[in-house]
Amino acid sequence: MTTSSDHKQLLHLVFGGELKELGGVEFKDLSNLDIVGIYPDYASAAAAWRAKAQQTVDNAMMRYFVVHMHRLLDPETGHEH
């Protein structure tokens, strides 16, 4: 059995929204962003991202992203090994 202290916490944010144009990364309405959540590792974040992307597959302008928060919090040591 592993505990949370056995693994380094690598926080990831999953969020999305409707883009202004296909291929861009500028959102149409910042007040309407969908903050899905913050996850303790990439695998959890990727699963949440995948679920949201599948739910919105019919809207080509909706995009979800995974942000590696641990890299922003600690740029020197925040990379995954």
Domains of the chain with bracketed CATH? 10-73 (3.30.70.2400)
Closest by Cα among 25, 28, 27, 66 to 47: 66
* Cα(25)–Cα(16) distance, integer angstroms: 10
- The reported pTM is 0.79
* Cα(24)–Cα(67) distance, integer angstroms: 16
* pLDDT tens-digit readout, 12-52: 999 999 999 998 999 999 999 999 999 999 999 999 999 99
* 9 DSSP assignment: -
pLDDT value of residue 6: 58
pLDDT value of residue 71: 86
pLDDT value of residue 2: 45
pLDDT value of residue 8: 79
Query: Facing residues of 66 across strands?
Result: 14
* Cα(46)–Cα(51) distance, integer angstroms: 9
